[in-house]
């Protein structure tokens, strides 16, 4: 059986999946290579802050969110960015003009982010 080290795994998700990806990244023993949050929001804020404080600084996180999102408010991406940055994560933040979608122009930025990991 092939085993992939956790530090080579990138957790990614869209909307609720983005929240789940970050929650999982902060719940597992060890560190993942990075986290991608597309149109997500912070959840269990106090727990995330506590877990971030216990982890090595510099967790790579890609956040993208539409300024016209009708499902999750755009402000949620700023809350995520602030919480994660204040907790020591290395946040790559990319708002876009779309809604609850990936947004045009996000994919090349995401590919570039992933290529650095």
Q: Residue 2: what pLDDT?
A: 77
Nearest to 10 by CA among 32, 38, 37, 29: 32
Average pLDDT over the chain reads: 96
Q: Which residue has the tokens 């300024």?
A: 67
Q: Residue 3: what pLDDT?
A: 86
Rounded CA separation 67/41 (Å):
13
Q: Walk me through the domains of the chain, giving residue ranges and CATH numbers.
A: 6-115 (3.40.50.1820)
Q: Residue 92: what pLDDT?
A: 98
Q: What band does 48 get if pLDDT is binned at 50, 70 and 90?
A: very high
The reported pTM is 0.95
Residue 3 or 49, more confident = 49
DSSP assignments along 85-101, one per residue: HHTT-EEEEEEESSSSS
């Amino acid at each position: 059986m092939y085993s992939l080290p956790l530090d080579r795994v990138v957790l990614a998700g869209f909307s609720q999946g983005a929240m789940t990806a970050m929650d999982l990244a902060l719940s597992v023993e060890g560190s993942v290579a990075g986290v991608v949050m597309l149109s997500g929001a912070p959840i269990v804020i106090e727990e995330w802050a506590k877990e971030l404080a216990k982890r090595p600084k510099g967790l790579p996180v890609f956040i993208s969110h539409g300024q016209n999102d009708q499902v999750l408010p755009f402000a949620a991406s700023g809350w995520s960015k602030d919480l994660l940055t204040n907790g020591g994560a290395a946040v790559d933040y990319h708002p876009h003009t779309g809604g609850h979608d990936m947004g045009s122009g996000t994919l090349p930025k995401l590919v570039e982010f992933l290529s650095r990991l």
